[in-house]
């Protein structure tokens, strides 16, 4: 079966997203993060849009931007003045902090969306993590379940908005009260689903399942790993490590 | 192969001829064991008395006199899931429903029952054809999803009912008298109610909006026999309140016990059928005899 596949292995995509996300925690200069963040966002957002409710992602991005701005102004407002609003000066340090935090976020979410968009279903991900990386089944299941939640969250979100329209209550999730209610409903539905998924996995003997042999690494897998390596090399030479 | 198989099931009747032993968990650590299953009828009766669904469905007499006005008229309705140049999920659907009627919609998985309900509610848009709703207040039908939690918006039952009352103008007392568990569960999160209570709360939410038609999507999934009887009793209450109801279901008991008329959706076509006959047919399929 592996011989006929066109997309990279889910395990390779998982390694890619881990390697690229790690860059967000290791490199701190905007110069090092800019190209990987833009590249992963350009690739990840179109590929991952079927796996996640994009409207919700954008809302979270906007909240993140506000958080990053406030964080920059409170803790890093030093250096030369970039912007002056009334009597208040936004300095280069705040601006750099704002840019860095957002690049990190875009890098992580872009790489995650890229992985979700290309890795197929959760079953393929579990199998691939166990077979290729030798991951214990219960860890592979937990990771896979977390990623499987994204498409389910997307469906829940759609259904919740339909139900809210029927109930003639707000659906604009830019409104914090509506966002709180929608998130609370999504978490409540997801929690019950997670409990039953765990019980179902236990009953199906996830821990005692036999593992198959390792699969072959193909050209598309090497391309993904090479891309991760190239991003690391670029970031390394563009910035000094913390 | 010498394997031991344990089946956990509300509808024990479908497994009685296969089982060598039945254990009924009664709660509070109590359990009843049935090892002699040869006396099928006696065992069924006893299991039934313990709240286990162990007997065949029996059709109940239903008032099928059409007295109301046409609440719903669907003409030549075709719906798609993907592109419109692909084959439709179903086509040329014709359906009618009168006020105060309870009608069942059956069909195999993937036949488009949920999509049909959503198209009637105006939620599914990729459709051609006509859906006419007659309501003096120009209200839309209310779709009650299979996952009842989608309809909840507040953190406690009390807040949920307050918000519902504000939005619909229905008096709080009028709503809470439909919820017999309200007083002792009002501080609880609606998400922590039992499945039967959550399903009923979602139905009461729908009813509070006074829709011309309520569309229930698989309302009996996961309910044990006692909960199911409760649901049927409550659906009869809604009917007495003047509600018109279309229920999408696989459950023979819905057809035999509450549905006055039924439609079957299969092979992309909708046909009217006799609810009692269809109920028995679904029961036979569940027994593996068809």
Instruction: Please write the tens of the pLDDT for every residue from A67-98.
Output: 888 888 888 888 888 888 777 888 889 988 99
Are A163 and B145 inside 8 Å of each other by CB? Answer: yes
Q: Which range of residues forms the domain containing residue B227?
A: 70-286
**What pLDDT does A132 receive?**
82
Burial of B87 (0-12, 13-18, 19+ CB in 10 A): exposed
Q: Which residues of chain B have pLDDT under 70?
A: 61-67, 289-290
Q: Is residue B62 part of a domain?
A: no
**pLDDT tens-digit profile of B204-218?**
999 999 898 999 999
Interface test with B, best of A163, A189, A203 (most B CBs within 10 A): A163
Q: Is residue B65 part of a domain?
A: no
Q: Let me know: does B263 contact B270? Beta carbons within 8 Å.
A: yes
Tell me how far apart the alpha carbons of residues B209 and B122 are, in angstroms, rounded to a whole number: 16
**What pLDDT does A40 receive?**
94
In chain B, the largest separation of any two C-alpha atoms, in whole Å, equals 65
Starting at the edge strand found earlier in the chain, the sheet holding B90-98 runs B90-98, B70-79, B127-133
CA angle A36, A17, A154 (to 5 degrees): 105
Are B209 and A160 inside 8 Å of each other by CB? Answer: no
Same domain, residue pair B39 and B100: no
Q: Is residue B1 part of a domain?
A: yes
Q: Is residue B112 part of a domain?
A: yes
Nearest by CB to residue A189, choosing from B147, B154, B189, is B147
Tell me how far apart the alpha carbons of residues A194 and A179 are, in angstroms, rounded to a whole number: 22
**What pLDDT does A211 receive?**
63
ipTM of the shown complex: 0.82
Distance from CA of A153 to the nearest CA of B (A): 12
Same domain, residue pair B82 and B111: yes
Q: Is residue B225 part of a domain?
A: yes
- Count: domains in chain B: 2
Q: Which of A240, A241, A230 is nearest to A35 (CA)?
A: A230
Sign of CA dihedral B118, B122, B124, B128: positive
Are B123 and A156 inside 8 Å of each other by CB? Answer: no
Same domain, residue pair B10 and B80: no
% of chain A with per-residue pLDDT over 90: 25
Distance from CA of B58 to the nearest CA of A (A): 33
Q: Which of B150, B171, B148 is nearest to B161 (CA)?
A: B171
Q: Is residue B115 part of a domain?
A: yes
Q: Let me know: does B165 contact B177? Beta carbons within 8 Å.
A: no
Same domain, residue pair B35 and B79: no
Same domain, residue pair B13 and B81: no
CA B184 and chain centroid, separation: 26
The label of the residue with tokens 């992985």 reads: A115
Are A188 and B209 inside 8 Å of each other by CB? Answer: no
- Domain at B244, CATH number: 3.40.50.300
Residue A1 has pLDDT above 50, yes or no: no
Same domain, residue pair B203 and B122: yes
Same domain, residue pair B78 and B195: yes
**pLDDT tens-digit profile of A101-134?**
999 999 999 998 888 888 877 777 777 887 888 8
Residues 167-206 of chain A with CB under 8 A from chain B are 167-169, 181, 184-185, 188-189, 192
Same domain, residue pair B111 and B19: no
**What pLDDT does B139 receive?**
83
**What pLDDT does B290 receive?**
60
Same domain, residue pair B48 and B93: no
Are B150 and A188 inside 8 Å of each other by CB? Answer: no
Contacts with B153 from chain A: Cβ below 8 Å: 164, 167, 169, 181, 185
Same domain, residue pair B245 and B133: yes
Q: Is B83 helix (H, G, I), strand (E, B) or coil?
A: coil
Residue A21 has pLDDT above 90, yes or no: yes
Same domain, residue pair B92 and B43: no
CA angle B18, B19, B25 (to 5 degrees): 145
Starting at the edge strand found earlier in the chain, the sheet holding B142-144 runs B142-144, B214-217, B245-248, B102-106, B261-266, B269-273
Tell me how far apart the alpha carbons of residues A235 and A21 are, in angstroms, rounded to a whole number: 12
Q: Is residue B61 part of a domain?
A: no
State phi, psi for B248 to the nearest 5 degrees.
-85, 130
**What pLDDT does A209 receive?**
66
Distance from CA of B153 to the nearest CA of A (A): 6
Give the mean pLDDT of A47-71: 80
- Angstrom CA distances, B255 to B131, B247, B251, B260, stand at 24, 10, 7, 8
Residue A215 has pLDDT above 70, yes or no: no
Q: Which of A156, A236, A238 is nearest to A191 (CA)?
A: A156
Q: Which of B187, B139, B144 is nearest to B167 (CA)?
A: B139
**What pLDDT does A128 receive?**
81
Same domain, residue pair B85 and B39: no
Nearest residue of A to residue B208, measured between CA atoms: A167
Both tokens of B146, joined, read 């299979």
Both tokens of A11, joined, read 């395990």
Per-residue buried b or exposed e for A207-240, using 16+ beta carbons within 10 Å of the residue's own CB: eeeeeeeebeeeeebeebbebbeebbebbeebbe
Both tokens of B228, joined, read 């199911």
């Amino acid at each position: 079966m592996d011989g006929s596949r066109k997309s990279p292995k889910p395990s390779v995509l998982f390694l890619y997203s881990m390697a690229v996300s790690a860059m967000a925690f290791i490199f701190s200069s905007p110069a090092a993060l800019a190209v990987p963040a833009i590249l992963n966002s350009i690739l990840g957002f179109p590929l991952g849009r079927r796996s996640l409710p994009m409207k919700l992602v954008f809302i979270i991005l906007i909240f993140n931007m506000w958080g990053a701005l406030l964080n920059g102004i409170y803790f890093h407002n030093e250096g030369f003045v970039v912007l002056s609003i009334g009597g208040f000066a936004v300095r280069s340090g705040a601006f750099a902090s704002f840019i860095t935090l957002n690049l990190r976020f875009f890098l992580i979410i872009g790489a995650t969306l890229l992985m979700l968009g290309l890795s197929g279903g959760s079953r393929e991900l579990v199998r691939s993590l166990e077979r290729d990386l030798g991951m214990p089944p219960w860890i592979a299941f937990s990771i896979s379940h977390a990623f499987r939640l994204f498409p389910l969250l997307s469906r829940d979100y759609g259904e919740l908005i339909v139900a809210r329209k029927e109930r003639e209550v707000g659906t604009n999730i830019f409104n914090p009260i509506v966002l709180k209610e929608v998130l609370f409903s999504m978490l409540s539905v997801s929690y019950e689903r997670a409990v039953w998924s765990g019980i179902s996995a236990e009953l199906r003997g996830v821990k005692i399942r036999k593992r198959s042999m390792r699969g072959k690494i193909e050209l598309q897998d090497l391309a993904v790993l090479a891309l991760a390596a190239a991003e690391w090399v670029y970031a390394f030479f563009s910035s000094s490590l913390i | 192969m010498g394997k031991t198989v344990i089946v956990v099931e509300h509808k024990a009747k479908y497994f009685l001829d296969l089982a060598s032993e039945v254990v009924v968990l009664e709660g509070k650590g109590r359990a009843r064991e049935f090892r002699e299953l040869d006396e099928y009828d006696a065992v069924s009766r006893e299991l039934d008395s313990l709240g286990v669904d162990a007997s065949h469905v029996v059709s109940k007499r239903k008032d099928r006199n059409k007295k109301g006005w046409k609440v719903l008229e669907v003409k030549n309705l075709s719906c798609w899931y993907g592109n419109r140049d692909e084959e439709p999920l179903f086509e040329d659907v014709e359906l009618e429903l009168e006020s105060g009627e309870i009608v069942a919609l059956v069909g195999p998985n993937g036949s488009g029952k949920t999509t049909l309900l959503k198209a009637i509610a105006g939620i599914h848009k990729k459709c051609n054809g006509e859906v006419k709703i007659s309501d003096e207040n120009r209200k839309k039908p209310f779709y009650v999803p299979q996952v009842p939690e989608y309809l909840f918006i507040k953190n406690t039952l009390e807040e949920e009912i307050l918000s519902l009352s504000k939005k619909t103008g229905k008096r709080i007392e009028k709503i809470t008298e439909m919820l017999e568990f309200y007083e002792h569960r009002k501080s609880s999160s609606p998400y922590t109610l039992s499945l039967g209570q959550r399903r009923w709360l979602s139905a009461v939410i729908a009813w509070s909006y006074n829709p011309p038609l309520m569309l229930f999507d698989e309302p009996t999934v996961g309910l044990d026999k006692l909960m199911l009887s409760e649901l049927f009793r409550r659906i009869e209450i809604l009917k007495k309140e003047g509600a018109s109801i279309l229920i999408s279901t696989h459950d023979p008991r819905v057809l035999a016990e509450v549905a006055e008329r039924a439609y079957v959706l299969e092979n992309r076509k909708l046909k009217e059928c006799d609810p009692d006959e269809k109920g028995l047919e679904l029961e036979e399929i569940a027994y593996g005899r068809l």
